[in-house]
Amino acid sequence: MKIITSIDLGSNSLRVLRFCCDTKQIHGEFEKTVGTADGLIEAGIISDDAQKRIILAIKESIEKLNYDPKQAFAVTTQAMRIAKNNSEVLLKIKENTGVQFKIIDPHKEAELTLLAVNYAIKREQIKSDSFMLLDIGGGSTELILVSKNETFTHSFPFGIVTLTQSKNYNNDFLSFKNYILKYLENSKFDIKKAIFLSTAGTPTTICAVNLGMNYQTYDKNKVNGKSVYLKDVIRLQNEFKNMSNDDLESKVGSGRIAYINTGVEIFKLFFEVLEKEYSIVFDDGLREGVAIDSCSRK
C-alpha cells in the first residue's frame, strides 16, 4: 500500500492526514489549534509563541501518526503568505521537525480544496450540476463557484482570526460584505440554481453541535453531507453567547472560543448574500485535496 502524509498549516489550525493512495482510505489524522496568525495583523509577523506551538504540534503529530516528516506533502496558506518573516519561520520549522512547507497562493488553495470536495460529493452521492463552495479560513475566506462549464475562484482577505483581531471590526466586516456583493454582481454566476456547500472549522463545528456532538465527540463521518439551516446557525449563535467559557470550550474547543462568533457571523453573511436557507457541510478540505493531488502525481 502507498500511504502518504499531507499537512495543512492554516492561520489557526494544523491538520495532518495519513492517506492510502490505493484504497483511498484514511489511515490516521491529527488536528491541533496552533494560532499561527495570532497577533499577525498588528505585528506583521508570525510570533515566537506561535512558532513554538506549530513545532510542538508537528512533533506531536509525528509521534501519534508515525510518519516520515521529510516525506510529507505540506502546504501553508494566508498567514504565511502575508507574514514578513515567513521564510525564516518555515526554515525554523524544517530544522526542528523535518517538515518542509510550501506556501501556496489562493488559487492553488481553492483548486486543492475543490478537488477534495468534488471527491466528497461523489462519496456522499450528492448530485448537482452547479454549486457554491465556501471555505472559511483563519486569514482568508475562499468562495468557489462551479457550473457545468466553468469554475470561478476568489479569495477574500478576511478570515476568522484576522477579523476578530481587527481594531476596526465593524468597518472591516462591512467592507467584507460589500466586497462579496461586488464580486457576485460581476461574476455573472447563476446563484439561484446552485446549491450552497461549506467546509472548514466553523461550518463543521456548527453542524456537529446541531447534531448533538461536542468537541470531544466530534465525528466527521456524521457531519459529512449533512445540511445546516440558517435558522439553526442563528439559534446556536445565541446559545453560544449565553454560555460560560467552560461550556463553550466543551462545545467548540479551546482554540476556537475567541473566534467562533466571528466565524458564525461570516457564515451567516454568506447565507445572506447567496440567498440560501441551508448549506451542505463537509469536513473534507485542503489537507484531503493535497493528499488526493499528491497520489495522482506519484
144 and 66, same structural domain? no
Q: Where residue 42 sits, what CATH number does that domain have?
A: 3.30.420.40
Query: How many CA atoms lie within 13 Å of 24's alpha carbon, on the beta-carbon side?
Result: 8
Percent of the residues in the chain that have a pLDDT greater than 90, as a whole number: 51
Any domain includes 294: no
256 and 201, same structural domain? yes
DSSP state of 246: H
237 and 92, same structural domain? no
75 and 23, same structural domain? yes
pLDDT at 147: 86
- Strands laid side by side in the 151-156 sheet: 151-156, 141-146, 131-136, 195-199, 278-282, 226-229
Tell me if 36 sits within 8 A of 79, measured CB to CB. yes
128 and 260, same structural domain? yes
- 85 vs 96: CA distance, rounded Å: 17
pLDDT at 298: 59
| pLDDT tens per residue, range 231-277 | 999 999 999 888 888 888 888 877 777 888 899 999 999 999 999 99
Q: Across the chain, what does the average pLDDT equal? A: 90
List Cβ neighbours of 292 (8 Å cut-off, separation of 6 or more): 19, 115, 116, 119
Q: Is 78 left (phi over 0), alpha (psi -120 to 50) or beta?
A: alpha
Say how many C-beta atoms besides its own lie within 10 A of residue 210's C-beta.
18
Last residue of a domain, one of 104, 135, 163: 104
pLDDT at 267: 95
Last residue of a domain, one of 43, 75, 104: 104
Any domain includes 109: no
Any domain includes 35: yes
pLDDT at 244: 86
60 and 7, same structural domain? yes
β-strands 151-156, 3-9: how paired?
unpaired
Any domain includes 69: yes
Any domain includes 110: no
149 and 85, same structural domain? no
148 and 77, same structural domain? no
Structural domain tally of the chain? 2
Tell me if 97 sits within 8 A of 55, measured CB to CB. yes
| pLDDT tens per residue, range 185-235 | 888 888 888 999 999 889 999 999 999 988 888 898 899 999 999 999 999
Name the grid cell of 280.
Answer: 451542505
Name the grid cell of 5.
Answer: 502524509
Any domain includes 297: no
173 and 71, same structural domain? no
pLDDT at 242: 87
**Size of the chain, expressed as the number of residues it contains:** 298
- Report the amino acid identity of residue 254: S
pLDDT at 205: 92
The runs of H, that is alpha helices, within 211-282 are: 220-223, 230-241, 245-252, 260-274
260-271 CB burial, b ≥16 within 10 A, e <16: bbbbbbbbebbb
171 and 100, same structural domain? no
Percent of the residues in the chain that have a pLDDT greater than 70, as a whole number: 99
| pLDDT tens per residue, range 111-134 | 899 899 888 888 888 877 789 999
| pLDDT tens per residue, range 166-178 | 888 888 889 889 9
β-strands 13-20, 26-33: how paired?
antiparallel
Range of the domain at 95: 3-104
Any domain includes 118: no
Taking residues 29-49, report their average pLDDT: 89
177 and 254, same structural domain? yes
pLDDT at 207: 94
Q: Where residue 247 sits, what CATH number does that domain have?
A: 3.30.420.150
276 and 174, same structural domain? yes
- 57 vs 74: CA distance, rounded Å: 14
- 96 has a pLDDT exceeding 90: yes
pLDDT at 74: 97
pLDDT at 296: 83
